[in-house]
């Protein structure tokens, strides 16, 4: 049976979603070498596309000559492939197959493009390459549509046809149903492939279920080392080949895979983690692209209920392909649905008249430099906590734009809360319009500290001092004075937030005098 099961490792391709494909040239070669040593049958080297500039440290390639640099001269019987998304590479640019580079191309496409994509597959096959037909989001097809696709694939006669669980939402019954449709209708000489994601922690069990069917068909199962892949990641190569070794006469060597994890991938994981998470689970349950969940999670402003409600707002035809502008508009529309409550606005303006405002954010410096803060407070200073209740000073107000933080606040403090309209609350001092306080930099569009600055500037305040406005370290333990407030997010997001805050602080300094009371670490004016 083992001869009928091949493992395709997609670390250098699907794993590239976690590090922008920037593995580094030496690491690319080491990973390929380790996969060959491990006896992996098919090795995917990255993306092939016309729309990028070649960088040897990045696994997005524009030609087969480029990728040939990481492929050993002696392939030791292994098949090397690349993936191209439909429409992102011109088959006419492909040289005739001569064995000097990759042996095959995987063509990924959505249902709406299937006819045109198969024409692209045909052109690639005519050049002599093995063609892998990747029907993305296979569950989006009705049985009738899937059978029609299979009939078209039979006419093409590619190397393999894939069932693709793009969003990690397939349960065993779904996979079994699609597999039997393929098994009973696909030409026998075409291999059946399966590509999974781990949004619901089912990638490993689903792969096992295919093996355990004891089908006579030749199977190709995709996996990546350490499960490295977009969002929740993929089936783990090291786990699956161990299963094959134990249950299907596999001849794989695990040690080289573990070395890849230890020497290369661990570092990427620490900088930009992947794996099962609540947002990725939510995207799967809503049959939506996982990047939507990633976008909402990066905001760190939403509860699970909020995320669910935003997914419920989505048009079905928009769920399949990620559209950043679309999800951003949905997010802003959702956040702006609340009411404003400004009967105390005139009173607040009077209380602020001629006063300096001290905004205290929850950065670590708010605790480390507590003496500077407590000694600064006097009758001419209006103190405002931002997104929490500062424990060392009885602040005059608490400004909140984050529903999570509002829910964590003791109810007794709500009467002095100034909240944005996305927070449903009746017992607060003032509720102001969320949209009116947004800035024009995506990464910090609704950053609470920046919203507070803009709000008090609109209230006529001339001078604002900032405490705890530290910016964000890559080490989440360094970001907050209260450890319970810490959150983990991608380093690229944190860097963008620091840059965005710096830009907006400079911009707002033209509206109101801004001064740091405590020393910031990652931002400046």
| Domain edges within the chain | 2-271, 278-335, 345-516
Other CB atoms within 10 A of residue 367 CB: 17
Distance CA 283, CA 452 (A): 32
Query: Is the pLDDT reported for residue 489 higher than 80?
Result: no
If we measure between CA atoms, which residue out of 454, 451, 402, 450 comes closest to residue 425?
A: 402
If we measure between CA atoms, which residue out of 69, 503, 124, 412 comes closest to residue 61?
A: 69
At residue 336, the pLDDT reads 82
* Across 448-460, average pLDDT: 97
- Residue 107 φ/ψ, nearest 5 degrees: -110, 115
CB 467 within 8 A of CB 373: yes
* Across 293-299, average pLDDT: 88
pLDDT tens-digit map of 464-474: 999 999 999 98
Asked whether the whole model's pTM tops 0.85, one would answer no
Please report where in the chains the tokens 């998304």 appear, as a residue: 85
Query: Is the pLDDT reported for residue 2 higher than 50?
Result: no
- Residue 422 φ/ψ, nearest 5 degrees: -75, -10
Give the residue, 481 or 244, on which the prediction is more confident. Answer: 244
pLDDT tens-digit map of 190-215: 999 999 999 999 999 999 999 999 89
If we measure between CA atoms, which residue out of 435, 410, 406 comes closest to residue 418?
A: 406
Query: Is the pLDDT reported for residue 487 higher than 80?
Result: no
Among the residue ranges 1-10, 344-353, 363-372, 467-476, the one predicted with the least confidence is 1-10
Band (pLDDT 50/70/90 cuts) for residue 447 is: very high
Sign of CA dihedral 67, 68, 72, 76: positive
Query: Is the pLDDT reported for residue 496 higher than 80?
Result: yes
pLDDT tens-digit map of 98-121: 999 999 999 999 999 999 999 999
At residue 488, the pLDDT reads 67
Question: Alpha carbon of 195 to those of 69, 86, 106, 229: distances in Å?
Answer: 26, 17, 12, 12
Instruction: Give the CATH number of domain 2-271.
Output: 3.20.20.70
Query: Is the pLDDT reported for residue 226 higher than 60?
Result: yes
Among the residue ranges 348-362, 372-386, 475-489, 510-524, the one predicted with the least confidence is 475-489
- Tokens for 266, please give them: 């661990």
Query: Is the pLDDT reported for residue 124 higher than 60?
Result: yes
If we measure between CA atoms, which residue out of 397, 394, 348, 372 comes closest to residue 465?
A: 372
Distance CA 423, CA 428 (A): 10
Band (pLDDT 50/70/90 cuts) for residue 485 is: confident
CB 6 within 8 A of CB 220: yes
At residue 340, the pLDDT reads 80
Query: Is the pLDDT reported for residue 83 higher than 90?
Result: yes
- % the chain with pLDDT above 90: 82
Query: Is the pLDDT reported for residue 415 higher than 70?
Result: yes
Query: Is the pLDDT reported for residue 424 higher than 90?
Result: no
At residue 134, the pLDDT reads 98
CB 9 within 8 A of CB 35: yes
* Across 161-187, average pLDDT: 96
* Across 154-179, average pLDDT: 96
- Tokens for 70, please give them: 């990481």
Query: Is the pLDDT reported for residue 506 higher than 50?
Result: yes
At residue 462, the pLDDT reads 97
Please report where in the chains the tokens 């607040």 appear, as a residue: 348
Q: What is the CA radius of gyration of the chain?
A: 27
Query: Is the pLDDT reported for residue 286 higher than 60?
Result: yes
Segment (H or E) for 23: none
Among the residue ranges 103-117, 163-177, 294-308, 511-525, the one predicted with the least confidence is 294-308
Query: Is the pLDDT reported for residue 91 higher than 90?
Result: yes
Query: Is the pLDDT reported for residue 404 higher than 80?
Result: yes
At residue 344, the pLDDT reads 92
- Residue 230 φ/ψ, nearest 5 degrees: -55, 135
């Amino acid at each position: 049976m083992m001869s009928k099961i091949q493992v395709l490792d997609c670390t250098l391709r699907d794993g590239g979603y976690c590090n922008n494909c920037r593995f580094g040239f030496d690491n690319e070669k080491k990973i390929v070498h380790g996969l060959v040593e491990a006896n992996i049958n098919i090795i995917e080297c990255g993306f092939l596309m016309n729309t990028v500039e070649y960088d040897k440290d990045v696994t997005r390639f524009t030609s087969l000559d480029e990728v040939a640099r990481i492929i050993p001269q002696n392939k030791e019987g292994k098949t090397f492939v690349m993936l191209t998304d439909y429409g992102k590479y011109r088959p006419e640019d492909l040289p005739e197959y001569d064995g000097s580079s990759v042996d095959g191309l995987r063509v990924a496409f959505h249902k709406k493009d299937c006819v045109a994509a198969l024409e692209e597959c045909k052109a690639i096959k005519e050049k002599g390459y093995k063609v892998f037909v990747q029907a993305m989001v296979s569950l989006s097809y009705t049985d009738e549509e899937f059978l029609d696709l299979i009939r078209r694939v039979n006419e093409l006669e590619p190397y393999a046809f894939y069932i693709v669980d793009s969003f990690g939402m397939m349960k065993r019954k779904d996979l079994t149903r699609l597999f039997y449709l393929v098994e009973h209708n696909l030409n026998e000489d075409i291999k059946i492939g399966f590509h999974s994601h781990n949004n619901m922690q089912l990638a490993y069990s689903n792969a096992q279920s295919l093996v355990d069917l004891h089908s006579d068909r030749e199977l190709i199962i995709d996996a990546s080392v350490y499960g490295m892949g977009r969002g929740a990641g993929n089936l783990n190569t090291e786990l699956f080949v161990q299963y094959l070794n134990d249950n299907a006469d596999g001849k794989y060597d695990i040690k080289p895979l573990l070395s890849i994890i230890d020497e290369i991938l661990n570092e990427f994981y620490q900088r930009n983690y992947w794996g099962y998470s609540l947002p990725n689970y939510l995207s799967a349950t809503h049959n939506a692209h996982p990047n939507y969940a990633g976008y909402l999670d990066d905001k760190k402003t939403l509860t699970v209920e909020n995320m669910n409600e935003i997914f419920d707002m989505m048009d079905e035809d928009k769920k399949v392909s990620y559209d950043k502008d679309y999800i951003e508009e949905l997010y802003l529309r959702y956040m702006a649905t609340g009411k404003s409550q400004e009967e105390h606005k005139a009173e607040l303006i009077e209380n602020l008249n001629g006063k300096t405002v001290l905004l205290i954010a929850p950065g670590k410096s708010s605790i480390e430099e507590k003496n500077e803060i407590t000694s600064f407070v006097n009758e001419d200073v209006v103190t405002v906590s931002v997104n929490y209740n500062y424990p060392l000073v009885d602040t005059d107000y608490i400004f909140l734009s984050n529903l999570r933080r509002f829910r964590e606040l003791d109810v007794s403090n709500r009467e002095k809360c100034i909240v944005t309209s996305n927070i449903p609350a009746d017992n607060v001092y003032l509720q102001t319009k969320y949209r009116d306080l947004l800035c024009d930099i995506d990464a910090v569009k609704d950053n609470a500290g920046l919203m507070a600055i803009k709000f008090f500037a609109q209230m006529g305040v001339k001078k604002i001092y900032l405490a705890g406005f530290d910016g964000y370290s890559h080490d989440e333990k360094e970001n907050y004075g209260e450890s319970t407030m810490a959150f983990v997010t991608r380093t690229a997001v944190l860097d963008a937030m620091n840059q965005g805050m710096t830009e907006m602080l400079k911009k707002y300094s033209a509206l109101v005098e801004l001064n740091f009371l405590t020393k910031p670490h990652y931002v400046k004016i």
